[in-house]
Structure 1
Amino acid sequence: MSFTLLSSPLQGFTDFRFRNAVEKYFGGIDAWYAPYIRLQKHLEIKNSYQRDLLPENNQVSSLIPQVMTNSAEEFLFVAKYVLDLGYNELNWNLGCPYPMVTKRGLGSGMLKHKEQIDDLLTRVADESDITISLKMRLGYEDNREILDLLPLLEKHSIKNIVIHPRLGKQLYKGEADLDQFQRCIENTSHQICYNGDISSVAKFRELRQRFPSINSWAIGRGVIANPFLPAMIQADADQLPENWIESFSRFHDALFQSYEEALSGPGHILIKMQSFWEYFSQLFSNPHKAFKRIKKAKNMEAYHEAVRVNLTCEGD
């Protein structure tokens, strides 16, 4: 059975610069979800969100905007904005687990408010032509929250539901509840997409065997830790390509250049690239040592030398 591979967004990482670089040098992702748009009090969209969605900034084959809100007015405002840009789908983030979000009744903190979700979807369907998809967790406090919500969603037109089978309060800790994910499959007619813990081809195979009816899969942090992974999954290849160091080097340099052009001053670029290396280091045989070299760099010269040493040591 064929499958679709999606990229689940991570705020601060999977912006258009990262997406374009992965698409150019590795490929493998069928559609990318953009990091969520969140409005701050007023019905206006921050410049950074606008830049990230501008069609001329995106060279990926398919991009799906995402919004995080608990307000129908905000949802409709963002829907009109993305429709005007030429997008026809808007993903609603009901999965973000971070307390600063959930305590405001956003992200996974909204899952227990099933009537509010129902009302918002009803109003959006009445007032907009946007196609809606959902991203959610099993709940915030209790994994029954999603089973209480799914029956209400049956009356709504939803393209797909991306489910990360953890509770919001778990963040990314503990085990994913695969049994509850199976119950979700059994309690909805909507297309379900699995998201969570896909960090290797072997793990992907294991999950596909566990859930043979699922043909849509979303990778989050796994794409950042190993940008080769989507293409490896598509090819069913367990090993990195033989020339992975050269390919990664070209990818890294393109990513660095794009941030160098966008950020003001070497300090900001250094912080940005060091944050990426917390993930990139997982590609290397000694991740702790690889990241430690990068983290110790206090200027651009030291940073580039640390990158060179990492790549050279791995190639020896």
Structure 2
Amino acid sequence: MSLTLLSSPLQGFTDFRFRNAFHKYFGGIDTFYAPYIRMNGKIVIKNSYKRDLELANNDTLEVIPQIMTNSDEEFLFVVKYIQELGYKELNWNLGCPYPMVTKKGMGSGLICQPQKIDHILKRVHNETDITVSMKMRMGYDNPDEIQDVFPILDKYPLKNIAIHARIGKQLYKGGVDLDSFQKCIDNTKHKLYYNGDITSVASFQKLQERFPSIDHWMIGRGLIADPFLPKMIKENTTKYPENAIDTFRTFHDTIYQQYDEFLSGPTPIRMKMLGFWEYFSQSFDNPQKVFKKIKKAKNINNYQVAVKEILANKEFKGFQ
């Protein structure tokens, strides 16, 4: 069976700068999903979304835009916008677990409203020719909520449903619910993609063994924590390349420079990179120590010194 790997969108992390650098230095991802477009009741596309989806910024990648909404009018507006850019598919986010989203009836907070989902999908499929795919959790309060949505989804020619095998109120805590994911496989006619806790080659292989019918796998946090992971999965190896630390350093320096040019002032770039290092640190022998060193760097000079020391200590997993 062929193997397709997809990058799950992470708001604030996987924009076009990250995607392009990742593709150049690591590879292994077949399709990138752009972080969601959210309208907040205003029928206007923010400049940050425009930059992220501009074709010139994505000319070497396969990218699929995503929308976060509970409004049919917003959905139709975004469809028109992305089609004018040349995109043919729009992914609908019913997976975001954060309370600021779910309390407004969006993301995983919308899964308990199958009739609203039906209304939106009916308009989109009747009034446009966009290809629709879904990114979902199995529910917000319990994993059976998605089972009530499947009869609605099965009415429409969705390209696929990518399911993060948790419920919304878990956020990212606790383990994935593999039994409930199997129940999803058993109860929908649609093609399913798996998402959730693919953090190593070993964890991927266990999931692949558990779900032999799945051939599309979506990686989110694990992709940032270990950028070598997708290609290692593709090559079926647990051995890092000999130049792993040099590759990581070049990748880091590339995204640092690009974000530094875009963000105004030393504090925004420091906070941006601090967010990345919360994930990057997981690729080192002592994650807490590594992240603490970055966190203590209160200015850019100290940050650069900290990164140099971390990479010089050869505590990266690639040296094991």
Per the normalisation by structure 1, the TM-score is 0.98
Give the Å deviation of 1:243. 1.3
**Residue in 2 aligned with 1:251?**
251
Please, which runs of 5 or more residues in structure 1 have no aligned partner? none
Q: Which runs of 4+ in 1 moved over 2 A?
A: none
Q: CA deviation at 1:61?
A: 2.2
The residue identity in structure 2 corresponding to 1:307 is V
1:40 deviates by: 2.2
Matches within 5 A, 1:89-128: 89-128=89-128
1:83-125 per-residue CA deviation (whole Å, 9 max, x = no partner) reads 1111100000001011110011000000010011111111100
What residue is the counterpart of 1:48 in the other structure?
48
- Matches for 1:1-316 after TM superposition, within 5 Å: 1-314=1-314
What's the offset of the Cα at 1:68?
0.5
- In 1, Cα distance between the equivalents of 2:282 and 2:142? 32
Structure 1 distance, partners of 2:208, 2:39, is 37
User: CA RMSD of the aligned region, Å?
Assistant: 1.1
- Distance in 2 of aligned mates of 1:175 and 1:309: 34
Distance 2:285 2:58 in 1: 33
Cα distance 1:299–1:59, how it changes in 2: closer, same or farther (>3 A)? farther
CA distance in 2, matches of 1:232, 1:259: 27
Calculate percent identity across the aligned residue pairs: 61
User: Quick one: distance in 1 between partners of 2:118 and 2:40?
Assistant: 23
The SS at the match of 1:314 is coil
Tell me if structure 2 keeps the 8 A contact 1:161–1:191: yes
| Residue segments in structure 2 that go unaligned for 5+ positions in a row | none
Structure 1 contact 133–159 (Cα < 8 Å) conserved: yes
Q: Say which SS state the counterpart of residue 118 (structure 1) adopts.
A: helix
The answer as to whether partners of 2:131 and 2:159 remain within 8 angstroms in 1 is: yes
> In the alignment, residue 133 of structure 2 is paired with which amino acid?
S
CA–CA distance in structure 2, aligned partners of residues 294 and 164 of structure 1 = 30
Q: What SS does the aligned partner of 2:61 have?
A: coil
Query: Using the alignment, how far apart are the partners of 2:264 and 2:59 within structure 1?
Result: 24
Q: Given residue 30 of structure 1, which amino acid in structure 2 is its aligned partner?
A: D
Contact 2:20 2:61 in 1 (8 A): no
The 8 Å contact of residues 164 and 194 in structure 1, kept in 2 or not, is answered as yes
Q: What one-letter code is carried by the residue in structure 1 that aligns with 2:140? A: Y
Q: Kindly indicate whether the alpha-carbon contact (under 8 Å) linking 1:19 and 1:60 is maintained by their aligned counterparts in 2.
A: no
Deviation at 1:59?
Answer: 4.2
* Residues 285 and 314 in structure 1, CA contact (< 8 A), matched pair in contact too: no
* SS of equivalent to 2:305: helix
